[in-house]
Amino acid sequence: MPSSWSSRREVSPETSRLLIERAHEEFVGGNPGDPRVDQVRPLVQDSWRRSRAGRVGAEDLPPLELTDEELEAYRSTHPLAGALDMIRALLLPGDNASDAGVVVAVGDAAGRLLWIEGDRSVRALTGAMGFVAGTNWSEKFVGTSAPGTALALDRSVQIHGAEHYNRLVQPWSCTAAPVHDPETRRILGVIDVTGGADAVTPQAQLLVDATARAIEGELLVARLRARAAVTAPIPSRRSVVRAPETATLRVLGRDRALLEIAGDAAETLTEVSARHAEILLMLAVHRQGLSAERLGELVYGDAAEGTLRPEMVRLRKVLERTAPHLVPTSRPYRLAADLEIDAHQVLSLLGRGAHRVALAAYRGPVLPDSVAPGVEEFRETVRVALRDALLAEASIDVLLAYAETSDGSADEEILRLALSMLPARSPKRAGLVARIERL
């Protein structure tokens, strides 16, 4: 955190935290005309109304819209990628950025977070509510928040704790400002500072605003230099390349997988047979390819090459109709294009510390009725990774939510850890004790 932040005078919200919380409860509870709502800042009232009109849930988690590979590719070409050093220098200077007390996030014009840096402990805590790279923090998904509301209003915004529409975000305060294309004035993205009271002082808003303007100035200078150095060639019509289709195999909590194909024109969903789901899953997990013998072992339990080959013929015919770009090659068997798996998204979220979002994305075991050896092994890998991450780092709310799932309901270690983390007078303790005694 910049040294100048340490001496800032805290500015209280226009109404007390308790009043805002009560106004929020009345508003989301279906009583937007309660007199207390009128005492909330007009900017926040308007954002609450947009959130309610958009049917945003008061405890909705932001969706993960970019996988690890998509995030890496997108960040490398985003206009704000070259501004990261400037953002760090202005908002997280010095050698102690990991203990700054705030996190700094950079998102795109759609509200998707691309980079998050800063205090390690704050990142761990905010990650639990889904404040991680790849998730979408626009008002459409999480309601009132500094990054989403700044994009909605196209101006810098400060949101104090209880003013957030989403209850999960209310422990935090944040300041955000949009960054524009210096020539067209189109929004390129947003810069956000999230933390405690220091994140919403007048000085914080001035600093975030100044950082956004400095980035716009640097972008313009870089363009002018590039134009002076070289004349850009006129693109040929033949050089226009259609964006590739993306494919996702949804296997969590499903006996028959769902193949989702998204492209420029439309999105298609195709239910896949149990056997084809097992084969596609194994080929997606083993992207380097598999011999017929090894694929047969993973799917059938032995080297059932004679059984596998006719099934591969049928799978190719299905894919030729629904997803021709995925049709597998042979020797070794390998998918012709990347196939994402929803289970990998859960593992990715766990790696980013977004335990609450990962748990919400975990809709059940991988192909629960499958007895294919490879599927059973992958199913256990995902289950153990989720469980171990929650045991090691999750908050009490996330542990209690996991305890309500089929995987966690009979897990005594999870139940005992949750019990140890609950306050002594919590009304939830009795239920946990009873469940543990039944086990």
Tell me the pLDDT tens digit for each residue of 48-67.
999 999 999 998 889 999 98
**Looking at the predicted structure, is the pLDDT value of residue 2 above 60?**
no
Cα 297 from Cα 259, distance rounded (Å): 23
206, 199 contact by CB (below 8 A): no
**Looking at the predicted structure, is the pLDDT value of residue 238 above 60?**
no
71, 65 contact by CB (below 8 A): no
Provide the angle, in degrees to the nearest 10, between the axes of the packed helices 292-300 and 274-285. Answer: 130
**SS3 per residue for 153-205:** HCCCEEECHHHCCCHHHCCCEEEEEEEECCCCCCEEEEEEEEECHHHHCHHHH
**Looking at the predicted structure, is the pLDDT value of residue 147 above 50?**
yes
> Looking at residue 354, what is its pLDDT?
79
* Token digits of residue 284: 């997606």
Sign of CA dihedral 102, 153, 179, 263: positive
Tell me the pLDDT tens digit for each residue of 364-382.
899 999 999 999 999 999 9
Choice between 347 and 178, residue whose per-residue pLDDT is larger:
178
120, 353 contact by CB (below 8 A): no
311, 292 contact by CB (below 8 A): no
Please compute the mean of the pLDDT values over residues 405-425 and round it to a whole number.
87
Where do the CATH 1.10.10.10 domains begin and end in the chain? Answer: 246-340
Tell me the pLDDT tens digit for each residue of 239-267.
444 445 678 899 999 888 999 887 655 56
**Looking at the predicted structure, is the pLDDT value of residue 188 above 90?**
yes
205, 158 contact by CB (below 8 A): yes
Name the DSSP class of 119.
-
Please compute the mean of the pLDDT values over residues 7-31 and round it to a whole number.
69
**Looking at the predicted structure, is the pLDDT value of residue 349 above 90?**
no
Please compute the mean of the pLDDT values over residues 2-21 and round it to a whole number.
54
- Give every strand in the sheet of 258-262, ordered side by side: 267-271, 258-262, 246-250, 340-341
> Looking at residue 233, what is its pLDDT?
53
**Looking at the predicted structure, is the pLDDT value of residue 113 above 90?**
yes
Choice between 218 and 72, residue whose per-residue pLDDT is larger:
72
Please compute the mean of the pLDDT values over residues 146-170 and round it to a whole number.
94
CATH placement of domain 13-228: 3.30.450.40
**Looking at the predicted structure, is the pLDDT value of residue 9 above 60?**
no
Where do the CATH 3.30.450.40 domains begin and end in the chain? Answer: 13-228
104: nearest Cα among 222, 220, 198: 198
Across the chain, mean pLDDT equals: 85
First to last CA, the chain: 49
H or E element that contains 124 = helix 120-127
Cα 137 from Cα 173, distance rounded (Å): 14
CATH placement of domain 246-340: 1.10.10.10
Pairing label, strands 246-250, 340-341: parallel
Place of tokens 């899953």: 281
140: nearest Cα among 129, 154, 151, 125: 151
**Looking at the predicted structure, is the pLDDT value of residue 276 above 90?**
yes
Please compute the mean of the pLDDT values over residues 401-423 and round it to a whole number.
87
> Looking at residue 205, what is its pLDDT?
92
139, 54 contact by CB (below 8 A): yes
> Looking at residue 56, what is its pLDDT?
93
> Radius of gyration (Cα) for the chain, nearest Å?
25
